[in-house]
Amino acid sequence: MEILGIDIGGSGIKGAPVNIKTAELVAERHRIATPKISTPDAVADVISELVKHFDWKNGPIGCTFPAVIKKGVVKTAANIDNSWIGINGEKLIYAKTGCKTLLLNDADAAGIAEMEFGAGKDNKGVVIIHTFGTGIGSAIFVNGQLVPNTEFGRLEIRCQEAEQLASARNRTDEGLKWKTWAWRVNEFLARMEALFWPDLFIIGGGISRKHEKFLHLLETRADIVPAQMLNQAGIIGAAIAAGKKFNS
């Protein structure tokens, strides 16, 4: 079965139809720049453009979002326009496209893709996925079940949120060498281990493409591996989640 997966990011909104049985994109991914003022209507209009691009008529949509999502409603706005708070994104996208929509946290979507088809496949322990990008996204799975809307990037470390110290953007903005950045990530992962004692860490986000530069510098009791789904993780995970919701 095919579901349209859409991944909303800070710089781009990208999507593709996904075969949710194989995790394969069945058309080339299409990307449109995220509006500079990313209000609900502006972002929903871009999603409508993607729907038209793929000639997607009334089929379900799975859509990631960089926020806590509760029953389709956006609850936080760390890296998006504040006007999103309190908006039912699922209803808004449906109104713009006519397509039933599942809206979910972006890191949760990436985690679903990794657990179903990637680095976490068949792992029945405690698995934590971190996506390092503009911030630090997180997803935790226990015996394969997602605990949604975790915001571990908000953990306080030395009087700052973890993502203010150890995000990929932070590394770039401060010009940190890999060793220095990895030291900060280790501090964050040590806090995660103290709280959750995971069996496996999966390191995702765009920076996972460069894992050979830093993964060997990370020190954890748990196994630690790079994500396998890379930039397609959000699209694939959103499509899988929507398929489960609308075809259960």
Residue 82 and residue 146 share a domain: no
Residues 6+ positions from 19 with CB-CB distance below 8 Å: 1, 2, 25, 26
Residue 146 and residue 204 share a domain: yes
Structure confidence at residue 230 (pLDDT): 85
Structure confidence at residue 44 (pLDDT): 97
Q: Report, as an integer, the average pLDDT of 133-156.
A: 95
Structure confidence at residue 1 (pLDDT): 87
Task: Say which range, 30-39, 52-61, 76-85, 100-109, has the weakest mean pLDDT.
Answer: 76-85
Q: Return the closest-CA partner of residue 90 out of 99, 79, 102, 78.
A: 102
- For the chain, what is the mean pLDDT? 95
Percent of the residues in the chain that have a pLDDT greater than 90, as a whole number = 92
Confidence bin at 134 (pLDDT 50/70/90): confident
CATH of the domain at 19: 3.30.420.40
Residue 180 and residue 238 share a domain: no
Q: Report, as an integer, the average pLDDT of 214-238.
A: 96
Structure confidence at residue 248 (pLDDT): 62
For residue 79, is pLDDT > 90? no
- Whether 95 is covered by a domain: the verdict is yes
Q: How many domains does the chain divide into?
A: 2
For residue 28, is pLDDT > 70? yes
Rounded Cα distance between 215 and 219, Å, is: 9
Residue 127 and residue 214 share a domain: yes
Residue 78 and residue 32 share a domain: yes
Please give the residue range of the domain that contains residue 238: 2-108+232-246
Q: Return the closest-CA partner of residue 208 out of 196, 218, 221, 198.
A: 218
Q: Report, as an integer, the average pLDDT of 99-128.
A: 97
Q: Return the closest-CA partner of residue 130 out of 188, 177, 213.
A: 188
Residue 131 and residue 91 share a domain: no
Confidence bin at 206 (pLDDT 50/70/90): confident
Structure confidence at residue 80 (pLDDT): 84
Rounded Cα distance between 34 and 64, Å, is: 13
Q: What is the pLDDT of residues 172-191, one digit of tens each?
A: 999 999 999 999 999 999 99
Q: Return the closest-CA partner of residue 113 out of 245, 200, 236, 241.
A: 236
Confidence bin at 192 (pLDDT 50/70/90): very high
Structure confidence at residue 9 (pLDDT): 86
Structure confidence at residue 210 (pLDDT): 94
Residue 242 and residue 217 share a domain: no
Percent of the residues in the chain that have a pLDDT greater than 70, as a whole number = 100
Structure confidence at residue 145 (pLDDT): 96
Q: Report, as an integer, the average pLDDT of 133-158.
A: 94
- Whether 134 is covered by a domain: the verdict is yes
Residue 154 and residue 100 share a domain: no
Q: Report, as an integer, the average pLDDT of 146-158.
A: 95
Cβ atoms of 3 and 62 closer than 8 Å: yes
pTM of the model: 0.94
Q: What is the pLDDT of residues 9-22, one digit of tens each?
A: 888 999 999 999 99
